[in-house]
Structure 1
Amino acid sequence: MLNLVLFGPPGAGKGTQSEKLISKYNLVHISTGDLFRAHVKGQTELGRRVSQILADGQLVPDSVTIAMLEEEVVKSPGANGFIFDGFPRTVPQAQALDNFLIDKGSKITVVIALDVDQAELNQRIAERHKISGRVDDAADKLQKRVDEYFSKTIHVLPYYDEQRKLTRINGKGEIEEIFKNLCAVIDKY
């Protein structure tokens, strides 16, 4: 089973690349951001609880995120593997994911960090906001999310680096070139 964590700041291209990886490797994509947006749109109990948190560009509490993610994994018992996109965002989340997967007889195979500079992120998010109108892509919300990534989420990378599971690739450039670089890493496993 291939379990991949695709890592990077908002706008790094995780969603774009995940779509391509799903198709090539027949993986189940779990994006915590997409899950939260679906709950918010569906006005579920969870959606109502996290709506304001997401609108403020803050992280949803670990316990809620982990429970939601575990529920999604359980829905796909015959999967070839998973792409975790936007998760884990904290070391406790990474530890909880590891423990959950171990209980399922699996583990994280590889963590790939898409490195993209701030100027490129701003440009990509501005374009995405024009197209999608996502509330969390507004300039003020984006800055909070990027700050959150660089002040908190980035600290997950050493956790995986210590396990020798981390690979960094340049996330700036043509989509197909980035995809080729991702596949070169994944194909080693």
Structure 2
Amino acid sequence: MFNIILVGPPGSGKGTQAERMVQKYRFIPIALGALLRQQMAENGANKSLIEGYINSGQLVPDHLSFELATQLVQAHPSDTSFLFDGFPRTIAQVTFLEHFLKQCHAQIDGVIFLDVPRNILIQRLKNRATIEERPDDQDDIKIKTRMRIYEEETLPIVHYYKSQGKLHSIDGTQNVDTVTKAIETIIDGLRP
């Protein structure tokens, strides 16, 4: 089992890069945002709860994130390699994930951080709102809420993994292919 976390602020390009890494390395993606949108599209049991959080730019409660992530991991053989995209998003989720993986005799092998300045992120989100019509990208207040939550809740995990020597930062303002090559170089260096 070889496990990577891809982390970055909203609009940093995580989704695009995660898709490329899944294709190249055959990771099983644990993309929390996509899982939540799928739950809403399929009228899942937690649809209204999830919609309330996403439409206001908030993070869904940890217990729901844990449930979705563990269900996906447990549905695969023990030697499966995972790419975590959008999870963990808080220190509590990091603690949960590390404990859960330890029970599976696994760990996080590396954390790749897409670093993009706030002004560029806001422009990217507004562009994405026009193209993809995502409700969480269409409103300045929601965008500001998401940025504030990212800075308060998610940025601490970047510092945590840096202190463990597992963090690899990439300039996310570069073109998509350059960022992809940088990520591939990191993954190739970490793989057993």
Whether these two folds match at TM > 0.5 is yes
Does residue 159 (structure 1) correspond to residue 160 (structure 2)? The answer is: yes
How far apart in 2 are the matches of 1:79 and 1:72? 14
Name the counterpart of 1:29.
29
Normalising by structure 2, we get a TM-score of: 0.94
Paired residues of 2:91 and 2:153 also in contact (CA < 8 A): no
- Give the percent of matched residue pairs that are identical in Structure 1 and Structure 2: 35
Aligned pairs (5 A) from 1:33-182: 33-77=33-77, 80-138=80-138, 139-182=140-183
Q: 1:31-51 deviations in whole A, cap 9, x for unaligned?
A: 111111111121211122221
Displacement of 1:79:
5.8
Equivalences, count: 189
How far apart in 1 are the matches of 2:165 and 2:24? 24
- 1:140 is matched by which residue type in structure 2? I
Displacement of 1:140:
2.3
Normalising by structure 1, we get a TM-score of: 0.96
Instruction: State the Cα RMSD in Å.
Output: 1.2
Mark the runs of 5 or more structure 1 residues left unpaired by the alignment: none
Name the counterpart of 2:5.
5
Q: 1:110-160 deviations in whole A, cap 9, x for unaligned?
A: 001100011211121111111110111113212211111012210111221
How far apart in 2 are the matches of 1:161 and 1:96? 18
Q: Point out 4+ residue stretches in structure 1 off by more than 2 angstroms.
A: none
Mark the runs of 5 or more structure 2 residues left unpaired by the alignment: none
Give 3-state SS (helix, strand or coil) of 1:172's partner: coil
Give 3-state SS (helix, strand or coil) of 2:106's partner: coil
Give 3-state SS (helix, strand or coil) of 2:82's partner: strand
How far apart in 1 are the matches of 2:67 and 2:80? 21
Give 3-state SS (helix, strand or coil) of 1:140's partner: helix
